Structure 1
Amino acid sequence: MRGTDEVLLRRVARGEADALTALYRRHAEGLFGFLQRLAGDRMLAEEILQDTLLAVWRGAERFEGRAQVRTWLYGIARRQAHNRLRSVRPAETALDDVPDVAEPAAGPEELALVRLDRDQVLAAVARLGLRHREVVVLAFVAELSQAEIADVVGVPVGTVKSRLHHARAALVHALAELEGTQR
């Protein structure tokens, strides 16, 4: 039985392992991409994904339906990642060093991002602080809406917009630094 995510989750809550497998097949690729970008390490992302699935298995009966199942899953994945990454301190780009962008519309800096090498962009994303990195990944890798990101992260939509704005500026700054070191 295929069913919607909600039906699958109710089945998971009843202890049906095949429903968890079906839910995994639907969402594993997106969740893994999100976790890999947060963790910066494939193996660690796989471990966090397994922790996420275990948490879903144990907590499916607590799903209240206030959000979409997909959003709920990303929230669990985010919490599992934060639990694992507390002791990991990636190099971060300080937002104090980043000039504030006056207009959130695509400017020359954002247009330059399109022309950059994928590895450069991923390296720059990895340099962002966790709060900024997660909203970037949720928006551009998982393709969640700002409202869905707000649900996952547990902040108002305005905070998501602000974090995305500052993350873009920090990305531009980090990319400029990476460009300078590669010359």
Structure 2
Amino acid sequence: MPTAGATEADLVRRLALGERSAFEQIYTQHNASLIRVATGIVHSRATAEEVTQETWLAVLRSISGFEGRSSLASWIFSILINKSRSRAKREGRIVSFEGPGEDDTLAAAFDGRGRWRDMPELWETLTPERILQGRRVMEHVDTAIEALPSGQRAVIILRAQHGLAAQEVCGLLGITESNMRVLLHRARLGVRAALDGLM
């Protein structure tokens, strides 16, 4: 069974050869999240879609130069973030992912590893029947993520949904690890509050 690194290396090789199925695989995996992160930076869905298209073109043009020093996802998101920031700057907006410092509320909500101290009620009581009745839970999660401030949205998408390492996320967004943890905690609190509101 191939390792994740071998699988990614094979995917990169296939992309460099111009294999359509390889592109479709990464497009399906990342496109929606790319648009969501870009929207948080450029503040317009239409502009975010344009920036995402530009990102895909840059990926295809540059894939043969991908050296594997970061994950493929991290590399793609770095292209997107750079293009989004350039577009925002050109349109006269300043984008910062920095947030205020950590506070006691956050410390009380999560343990030292970033996990809930008290699981939201909705998540504790999920049963197969409830999952079938509540097919729209993920839609509510997506809606809650869309409503987050841009820094929180970017961190939760990159860290929690795409599983990028903390150092990669910090490097992409130009933030410290402690600030990244604060943004992730606040994002989780926002999503939690939205889901608790469904009850």
TM-score bin, normalised by smaller chain:
0.5 to 0.7
2:33 maps to what in 1?
34
Task: Identify the residue that residue 131 of structure 2 maps to in structure 1.
Answer: none
* Rounded Cα–Cα distance in structure 2 between residues aligned with 1:26 and 1:158: 33
Q: Is the 8 A contact 2:35 2:52 kept in 1?
A: no
Show structure 1 runs of 5+ residues with no match: 89-93
Verify the 8 A CA contact 1:138 1:149 in the aligned structure 2. yes
* Identity in percent: 22
1:106 paired residue number: 116
Deviations 1:33-91 (A, max 9, x none): 31243338876654333211122244446645431233211211233344556769xxx
Matches within 5 A, 1:7-46: 7-8=13-14, 11=16, 18=18, 21=20, 23-38=22-37, 39=39, 46=49
Q: Distance in 1 between matches of 2:155 and 2:192?
A: 16
**Contact 2:146–2:153 (8 Å) recurs in 1:** yes
- The one-letter amino acid of 2:32's match is G
Q: State the superposition RMSD in angstroms.
A: 4.0
Letter aligned with residue 100 of structure 1: T
- TM (norm. structure 2) is 0.59
- 5+ long unaligned stretches in structure 2: 1-6, 94-98, 127-133
Q: Does structure 1 retain, via aligned residues, the 8 Å contact 2:34–2:77?
A: no
Pairing partner for 2:51 from 48, 55, 64: 48
Counterpart of 1:107, as a letter, is R
Aligned partner of 1:77 among 70, 76, 80: 80
Q: For residues 34 and 6 of structure 1, do their structure 2 counterparts lie closer, same or farther at Cα, with a shift above 3 Å needed? A: same
Name the CA distance, whole Å, in 2 between partners of 1:65 and 1:112. Answer: 41
Give the distance between the partners of 2:14 and 2:177, measured in 1 at CA: 28
Matched, 1:4 2:3: no
Distance 1:119 1:68, change over 3 A: closer
- For residues 101 and 84 of structure 1, what CA distance do their matches in structure 2 show? 33
Asked whether the equivalents of residues 5 and 23 of structure 1 are also in contact (C-alpha less than 8 Å), the reply is yes
* Counterpart selection for 2:70 from 46, 67, 70: 67
Residue 64 to residue 157, structure 1, CA distance change in 2 (3 Å): farther
